[in-house]
Structure 1
Amino acid sequence: MTTAPGTTAPPPGLALGAVAGAGRPGSSRIACPLPDGGLLDVGSLATAQRGPYPELLTAPNLDGLLDAGRPAWREVCQWLTGWRQDHEKAFAHRLPAEGLVPVLPFTVADYVDFYACEQHARNAGLIFRPDAEPLTPNWRHMPVGYHGRSGTVRVTGSPVVRPSGQRAAGDFGPTRRLDLEAELGFVLGGPAAGPVGVDDAAEHVFGVVLLNDWSARDVQGFETRPLGPHLGKSFATSISAWVTPMEELAAARVPLPAHDPGPLPYLAPSGPATGLDIELAVHLSGERIATPPARELYWSVEQLVAHLTSNGAGLRSGDLLGSGTISGPERARFGSLLELAWNGADPIALSGGGTRSWLHDGDEVVLTATAPAVGGGRFSLGEVRGRIVPQS
């Protein structure tokens, strides 16, 4: 696992992903980061030590494991936790330090991006509707979202080609307002017919990735009249190489912000509704420019799942749910350039000189995150990075 330039990340937590290379061209294997920064060949260990579900863990990615459901996930996580705590015993199953590249950890089925952070929704409303109520009338009543394009979800490190689109009437060309969005992505498994009740939704949430929902704001602004985002979003979405299981995030659970009005019964859990105390950081060309807090999300992942399936839509293994941009209450906590530079009206100053309202060709964006660890301290959820390249 690498870290953003100029940062020292805490040790990685338990996570699963897939890597290719190192003597196996054209094929990949499931791996797990070790506390010392190495990588564990999970399938090799499971086969040699008669671990649980070796037929799933020797697969090229997490698809089979996601399909197996929560009892299998829990057993695998408990088994791997023991090996990571005494990882020297797994030395024979460490992967080479060089020659490995991350691949998508799972096949993305459907991708739905939500708009679950109240501060971000308010900021967007203040920017685009300064003389009106910032929140739309439906926002506090249900999780708002749109279906994205699963085929353009890319693993960290993949270049992001500046997209073209209609920026205004009669005006087609490369976007001039390319933006980042710092989000969490929730990885689902255990397929189910809908509806899935809010109290049952956690059984289908395998874990979390970091997600950057790249956005062409000029294209998005012109096309989002009256329907939702389309080509301004669908050109690229980047996710981290590692999926952190929900079991690893047990100490990160925090109460949701208070809901007013209270949610309808299908969105109201029988117990307390909780979110995740995950602290993200946004780095632009090596400089940290913001620290969005995921605890500010208004809707829980369980509520996102319940709403998504409330019309009868089912779940597939590999479904990916984006949280929407995460923003805190002050500028240093905003999760997009749209907010940080206030739609270009107040560009951010970079310590190395220059300013940014939107991303330039050659800019590299890195999202990192940490969460509280069981037993104290914090652990790293890895990173998602992408460099903007011009059209060829």
Structure 2
Amino acid sequence: MSYVGEPFLHDLFVSYSHGDDGSGGAYLKPWSAVFTRELERELRADRRFRTCLSVFRDQDHRPAQSIDPMAPLSTQLQAQIAASALLVVLMSPDYLASQWCAEERAWWLAGQAALGLPYDERIAVVRIWPTEDPWPSALTDARGHPLVGFAFYPADAVPPRPLGWTDPPDALGTEFRKALLDMVGRLYPKLEAMKARADELRRQREEAARLSRDSGQLLYLHGRSDHATAWEQTALALTDKGFAVVPGEPDRVDSDPVRLQEVRERRVETLSACDALLLLGTEDGRALDADLVVVGKHDRQSARARSHRLLPCGLLDTAGAAIATSVRRATARIVQADWIDGTGQEWPAAVQHWLGEKGVRAGEGG
């Protein structure tokens, strides 16, 4: 498992050309392998990443991160590369000329698109050799200029070679170490940001699954104590359909500001643990107007900020034309309260259908 977590199997994928000469010689492979090893070692120096960091390499022989020798190479590589949170490119003329590297890059980009995630600021370009040919669009900025990346060759070297090229593999020089630490310092925040985004994606999937269930969702049914009979009938119909309903009684109507604030604080606390909010719409249109704003907008926003849940809001209209004015419907749309017809015998099924639609949209990131 990667540090970032699902849906990513790996935190980084390092893509580079071996620098083949056509006869089996791989001029860039030894240095690139050492670079990848040292990059992972420096990243693991931080305890947060020490035991769970996953750096994918197509020639890694560790069982947890290796290629299955009996599986089709391109198919398995495609899946592993696509499931990497960050792409690290070792840029060289050989990389630009490599069809294999182009395919790796395409696989990674396709994986991000499938997840619905932008790839901006998740590609780290390591300049290991000067290049003259144009860079692929994914490795350029909005103006078409190559990404700045990280310089790993001396600008004034003749001939140019990567930092540490002449050093023993286990005794890379100071300049290499400085450049590597600078890169690692930039990668840490990216990994943290992707972990937070991955956590949010997982939360959205879990919430979508809850909302899409046939029953069992926890609903906050808001009604006023002076409409207790209508509230109780509605609550019993919902529980008969398989929903859990809170609170156990309608909210108290109180004119005292202190007690009213206490009621709202308890409401927000309970709302924070719910899957959805239903506002009970009776013939008291003025009460509904206030509930749309106070409960459907402000208290719901407070609960969402506390729980980070979608917490969809539905206005259950049990009175029909008496309250379903065009202005009130427009106001409901503005505060993002969906209008649900509760005047028919099968209205609990309409609530179930509404939750299912909300689950589908949550699963799509909408």
TM-score of the pair, normalised by structure 2: 0.22
Greater CA radius of gyration, 1 or 2? 2
Q: Is the strand fraction higher in 1 or 2?
A: 1
